[in-house]
Amino acid sequence: MAEITINSILAIDCGSATTTVALIEQVNGAYRLAATGQAPSTYEPPWQDMTIGMVEAVREVEKSAGRTLFNSGGWPITPQNTNRQGIDAVVIVSSAGSPLTVVLAGLMKNISIATARRAAAMTYAAVVNELSLDTGSPTPANSPLPNGTPREGRLSPEAQLQLLQEGGPEAIILVGGTDGGAVRPVIDLARVIAMALRMPTLAEKPIVLYAGNSETRTEVAEILGPVAPLRAGPNIRPTLAIEDLAAIQMELENLYVQRKMAQLPGFQKLNNWSPYPVLPASKSFEKVITYLGRHNNLNVLGANVGSRATVISAQAGDYQNSIIRSDAGVGHSLASLLKVVPLEKFQRWLAFEMTPEDLYNRLLNKSLHPTSMPETQEDLLLAHAVARELLRLVMEQVREGWSLPPVAGMGQVQWNLIVGGGQTLTRAPQPGYAALVLLDGLEPWGVTSLALDVAGLATMLGAIATIQPMAAVEIAARDAFLNLGTVIAPMGHGTPGKPALKLKINYADDHYVETEVAYGSMQVIALPPGEKATLEIRPGRHFDIGLGQPGRGALAEVEGGILGIIVDARGRPLRLLKDETRRQAQIRQWLGELGVTHAIT
């Protein structure tokens, strides 16, 4: 069979709330984005068929492109024929459906369990409980303990068994012991798990993933193999100084695809649309962030805020990591988020008065209607307050990974490029809203470019690259991202109202502008998209612009965007005023400084 030349690609992303479809075609020898379409995702009742929303989004693309891509029965026409009907390839990613439920079992909470937690955070998994032999405290920390067990000290055998069964886990990750280290405690823990799995209260046996001391693998298999499906891999903590997460991450990802994605209504029909496997959206997103960083030799941070999960992918030198919080979304998982993040953390970002009771009820109501869009500016600002805390929560987990070699010593990484995705950001009515959410949630410092994934392509590009790398490269370079502008943000703090830094902007046409920006404020300086300028940055003596020495000046060549140059002189780490009235005024001031009009006054 002759190999098919791929001149056109249909990329589909089925999200928790929205399904996005993109048509990519070769135009004059280069791949370009031809059209996009969106429709509500339809894997939930009353439709219970994820392909319904996809076909609706495809029909929208057909109207925009003036082409027929699917036949009347709702199936893709492949390959593209001489009448330009159909497409040569279809690629699909998905983040729909609930996460894989996981229990972690290990020897030490701050070592083997912490490593297992990081592995679970790399895919769509929800850790429902943790059992470690050095403490009686499960996760989450605010959850009740079985049988009233005290938080300090070992759990009773009965409580251990209950902990392993609570939440109906679909997988149990057993870890502990460095290679050549502890043996007997790992064996004892395997026996506890085996006892729990033999109890009739479990409706379905979870898969046990063993990634502990490699010397105990045979004995663990003899204990657990007869009572549950068992998969063993390399030790995730072979030494105290090394983590090896790749194998366990792949096992969890495969389980998610088998147990969750493949069970979505309509998935089997969807799977027949294309010979290429359906990828988790987070994996595809990770691939494109990694590419952007390595190909351009940049430190790149990607942040995708979804209805059910928030994904942050980081690429900095040799370091690459992705964190997925399946309990941290702006819609479907908002109720879970309220159990993790204190209400006052959301409230601190509001530019208007709202009682804690009203705030809680508004957020809970949103969780009951996860696909609803903001109807008022209060709704919009409330959604953005949630997005800030989602980003801060996940970014904290990303930083935890920097504590181990070879990442130790990274300190406060300077990001050359930040890419924001998800409709909470990309559908903001004015770009200043999205920029402020990214700045408040991620707190970049130094000199950073901000971009938005306005077409919703970032989660698809990694999948596109697996079948036609050049298409992904050319779309990423030309069509995928909207350049918001360049942020100048010094580290440090000063006196409110006093100058934090001075700038001289040298434009390409030889004219220049000089300005100074007071600590606690922001300023936007015009620099249109595609135009470049050279900045002379002179920070105050308490501020570091990224050269490791407060007060030391720098030269930087920057590119403009729809906002231009954003000078964020609010200091790092960001400090909010404690007085509620003054803080609300502060938030309104920042919105105004970023060009947001009609803000609540």
Q: Which of 342, 341, 343 is nearest to 360 (CA)?
A: 343
* Two tokens, residue 324: 């997925």
Task: Return the minimum-mean-pLDDT range out of 124-128, 138-142, 501-505.
Answer: 138-142
- Rounded to whole angstroms, how far apart are CA atoms 93 and 355? 40
**For residue 166, what are the domain limits?**
100-259
Q: Which of 480, 503, 483, 500 is nearest to 492 (CA)?
A: 500
Instruction: Give the per-residue pLDDT at 263.
Output: 93
Q: Which of 194, 228, 259 is the last residue of a domain?
A: 259
What DSSP designation does 110 have?
A: I
- Rounded to whole angstroms, how far apart are CA atoms 427 and 442? 19
pLDDT digits (tens, 9 = 90+) for 82-134: 888 999 999 999 999 899 999 999 999 989 999 999 999 989 999 999 998 88
Q: What whole-number percentage of the chain has pLDDT above 70?
A: 94
Residue 152 has pLDDT above 50, yes or no: no
Q: What CATH number does residue 247 fall under?
A: 3.40.50.2300
Based on the domain organization, do 311 and 162 belong to the same domain?
Answer: no
DSSP lists the bridge partners of residue 487 as 448, 566
Based on the domain organization, do 123 and 108 belong to the same domain?
Answer: yes
**What distance, in Å, lies between the first and last C-alpha atoms of the chain?**
67
Q: How confident is the model at residue 3 (pLDDT cuts 50, 70, 90)?
A: low
Residue 517 has pLDDT above 90, yes or no: yes
Q: Is residue 320 part of a domain?
A: yes
**Contact of 15 with 92, CB cutoff 8 Å:** no
Based on the domain organization, do 107 and 181 belong to the same domain?
Answer: yes
Q: How confident is the model at residue 410 (pLDDT cuts 50, 70, 90)?
A: low
Q: Number of structural domains, the chain?
A: 3
Strand, helix or coil for residue 574: coil
What DSSP designation does 547 have?
A: S
Q: Is residue 84 part of a domain?
A: yes
Based on the domain organization, do 582 and 446 belong to the same domain?
Answer: yes
Based on the domain organization, do 564 and 506 belong to the same domain?
Answer: yes
pLDDT digits (tens, 9 = 90+) for 21-54: 999 999 999 999 999 999 999 999 999 999 999 9
Residue 144 has pLDDT above 80, yes or no: no
Pairwise pLDDT comparison (167 vs 544), residue with the higher score: 544
Based on the domain organization, do 121 and 190 belong to the same domain?
Answer: yes
Residue 548 has pLDDT above 90, yes or no: no
Q: Which region, left, alpha or beta, applies to residue 530 given φ > 0 means left and ψ of -120 to 50 means alpha?
A: left
Mean pLDDT of the chain: 91
pLDDT digits (tens, 9 = 90+) for 561-601: 999 999 999 999 999 999 999 999 999 999 999 999 866 65
Strand, helix or coil for residue 101: strand
Q: Which of 37, 68, 94 is the last residue of a domain?
A: 94
The β-bridge relationship of strands 171-174 and 100-106 is parallel
CA dihedral (470, 473, 477, 483) positive or negative: positive
Instruction: Give the per-residue pLDDT at 523.
Output: 97
Instruction: Give the per-residue pLDDT at 141.
Output: 39
Work out the average pLDDT over 501-523.
Answer: 95
188 C-beta neighbours (distance < 10 Å), count: 12
pLDDT digits (tens, 9 = 90+) for 326-353: 989 999 999 999 999 999 999 999 999 9
Based on the domain organization, do 87 and 104 belong to the same domain?
Answer: no
Instruction: Give the per-residue pLDDT at 273.
Output: 93
Q: Is residue 112 part of a domain?
A: yes
Q: Is residue 268 part of a domain?
A: no
* Two tokens, residue 487: 């942020």
Based on the domain organization, do 121 and 34 belong to the same domain?
Answer: no
* 355 CB burial (10 A radius; 0-12, 13-18, 19+): exposed
Based on the domain organization, do 90 and 109 belong to the same domain?
Answer: no
- Rounded to whole angstroms, how far apart are CA atoms 245 and 392? 23
Instruction: Give the per-residue pLDDT at 599.
Output: 63
**Contact of 188 with 157, CB cutoff 8 Å:** no
Q: What CATH number does residue 27 fall under?
A: 3.30.420.40
Q: Which of 45, 77, 94 is the last residue of a domain?
A: 94
Q: What whole-number percentage of the chain has pLDDT above 90?
A: 82
pLDDT digits (tens, 9 = 90+) for 358-386: 999 999 999 999 988 899 999 999 999 99
- Cα–Cα distances (Å) from 287 to 262, 455, 590, in that order, read 22, 17, 34
Based on the domain organization, do 65 and 196 belong to the same domain?
Answer: no
Q: Is residue 267 part of a domain?
A: no
pLDDT digits (tens, 9 = 90+) for 158-212: 888 888 888 789 999 999 999 999 899 999 999 999 999 998 777 788 999 999 9
**Contact of 541 with 582, CB cutoff 8 Å:** no
Q: Which region, left, alpha or beta, applies to residue 443 given φ > 0 means left and ψ of -120 to 50 means alpha?
A: left
